[in-house]
């Protein structure tokens, strides 16, 4: 929560701001500086009450709209600007000065940015899930635990072993890729060799997800924890919105990774072999392509992308043993919306899901924001069953 107090274009210093959560517990306190700015880091997303102590205002200055207390929602990873319009106290018998309330445009722009940021995080996981589905035809319900694995790996390195978070994130991505390779090497590959059906493998993936989730719970507990660095950052003003620097860095990394992986799938020989296995595994094998080696590579890439998504999600909203499971439905929605098995479709679907999730809070409570994304999914699939970039297939 942050803001700048000004009166007649001049900063107002020494004003006390108190912030409390929904239960009334104090979340922080700040005093406006010489430039009128104040900032209170809060523990996470949620609804907070912000109180301006009117007794600390300079003599003759008052809150212009008569509202020294505001109840506002802080979204994941975003700094929330708080506006207290100040003015000179009206003389007895005169009309009060007009007040300017919070701008609806600022809120919409803030939600659009948050939606794009969240969509890019989902896209990393959705791309890996789409690749696995494209090559194996497997709907992997344990993919959410790969996301959690990446976040928890980074947490262990950063908090338990005191490795800087940037290095921890890189190592977590490597470990996530190795975990994906290991799963296919000792488990999924063995099931393929035994010619286990896709329905059976899907049900097995649910069991794998449950086992991994409760292993995480046993080791790390059920509380939400934070990395040792980059937890609370003051926002950088980008026009009408303020954005934490870590979010801008994460956006740039996500875009570069998504573009590089997508181009590799379309331009390199390895990518062409992957697409050949996705289109027709039997014909690809007859052409001399090692189907098992390609699928194992896809699992490695999928694990690394999921781990990177988990690291970013942990920076965005904290680390919890259920974090991957909580966004798994949105990841599935993004893959389905973009078109099953298509890399660029997963990216496009993720952006639509991210924007729908955040913008829906303009009309519905924040707790129900995932409903907005699912409604958009249902509406689009009704008119385009194959997804936005999917291809029509003949049945029968």
Distance CA 270, CA 295 (A): 11
- The predicted structure's pLDDT at residue 232: 64
Work out the mean pLDDT of the chain and round it to a whole number. 85
- The predicted structure's pLDDT at residue 123: 95
> Of how many residues is the chain composed?
396
What SS3 class is residue 19?
strand
The angle formed by the CA atoms of residues 311, 29 and 24, to the nearest 5 degrees, is 85
**DSSP structural state of residue 184:** I
Among 52-61, 249-258, 329-338, the minimum mean pLDDT is found in 52-61
- Give the model confidence (pLDDT) of 310-355 as tens digits: 999 999 888 999 999 989 999 998 988 887 666 778 888 899 999 9
377 confidence band (pLDDT: 50, 70, 90): confident
- Give the model confidence (pLDDT) of 299-309 as tens digits: 999 999 999 99
- Give the model confidence (pLDDT) of 123-159 as tens digits: 999 999 988 988 888 889 999 999 999 999 999 999 9
CA distances for 318 relative to 16, 151, 226, 340, angstroms: 29, 9, 5, 30
The residues, ordered by sequence, that sit 6+ positions from 290 with a Cβ below 8 Å of its Cβ are: none
Helical pair 165-183 and 143-155, crossing angle rounded to 10 deg: 140
The angle formed by the CA atoms of residues 209, 210 and 211, to the nearest 5 degrees, is 95
Helices (H), the chain: 104-136, 143-155, 165-183, 189-193, 198-220, 245-267, 269-279, 281-286, 291-317, 323-338, 343-359, 369-383
Terminal-residue alpha carbon distance, the chain:
58
If one compares 93 and 249, the residue with the highest pLDDT of the two is 249
CA distances for 340 relative to 5, 274, 384, angstroms: 50, 15, 12
């Amino acid at each position: 929560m942050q803001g700048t107090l000004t009166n007649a274009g001049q900063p107002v210093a020494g004003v006390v701001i108190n912030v409390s959560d929904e239960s009334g517990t104090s979340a922080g306190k700040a005093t406006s500086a010489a430039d009128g700015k104040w900032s209170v880091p809060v523990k996470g997303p949620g609804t907070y009450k912000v109180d301006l102590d009117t007794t600390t205002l300079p003599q003759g200055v008052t809150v212009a709209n008569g509202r020294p207390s505001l109840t506002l929602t802080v979204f994941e990873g975003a700094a929330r600007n708080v506006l207290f319009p100040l003015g000179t106290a009206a003389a007895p018998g005169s009309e009060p000065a007009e007040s300017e309330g919070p701008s609806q445009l600022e809120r919409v722009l803030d939600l659009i940015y948050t939606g794009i940021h969240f969509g890019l995080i989902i896209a990393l996981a959705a791309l890996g899930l789409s690749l696995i589905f494209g090559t194996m035809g497997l709907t992997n319900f344990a993919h959410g635990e790969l996301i959690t694995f990446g976040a928890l790996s980074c947490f262990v390195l950063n908090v338990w072993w005191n490795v800087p978070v940037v290095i921890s994130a890189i190592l977590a991505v490597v470990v996530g890729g190795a975990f994906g390779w290991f799963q296919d090497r000792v488990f999924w590959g063995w099931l393929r060799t035994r010619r286990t059906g896709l329905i059976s493998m899907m049900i097995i993936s649910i069991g794998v997800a449950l086992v991994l989730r409760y292993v995480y719970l046993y080791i790390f507990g059920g509380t939400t924890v934070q990395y040792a660095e980059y937890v609370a950052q003051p926002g950088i003003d980008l026009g009408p919105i303020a954005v934490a620097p870590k979010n801008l860095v994460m956006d740039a990394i996500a875009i570069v990774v998504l573009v590089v992986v997508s181009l590799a799938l379309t331009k390199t020989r390895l990518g062409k072999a992957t697409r050949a296995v996705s289109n027709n595994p039997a014909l690809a094998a007859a052409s001399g392509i090692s189907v098992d080696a390609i699928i194992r590579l896809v699992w490695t890439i999928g694990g690394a992308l999921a781990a990177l998504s988990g690291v970013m999600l942990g920076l965005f909203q904290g680390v919890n043993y259920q974090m991957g499971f909580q966004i798994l439905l949105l990841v599935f929605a993004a893959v389905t919306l973009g078109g099953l098995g298509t890399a660029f479709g997963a990216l496009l679907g993720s952006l639509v899901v991210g924007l729908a999730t955040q913008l829906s809070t303009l009309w519905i409570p924040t707790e129900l924001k995932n409903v907005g994304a699912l409604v958009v999914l249902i509406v689009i699939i009704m008119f385009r069953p194959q997804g936005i970039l999917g291809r029509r297939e003949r049945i029968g």
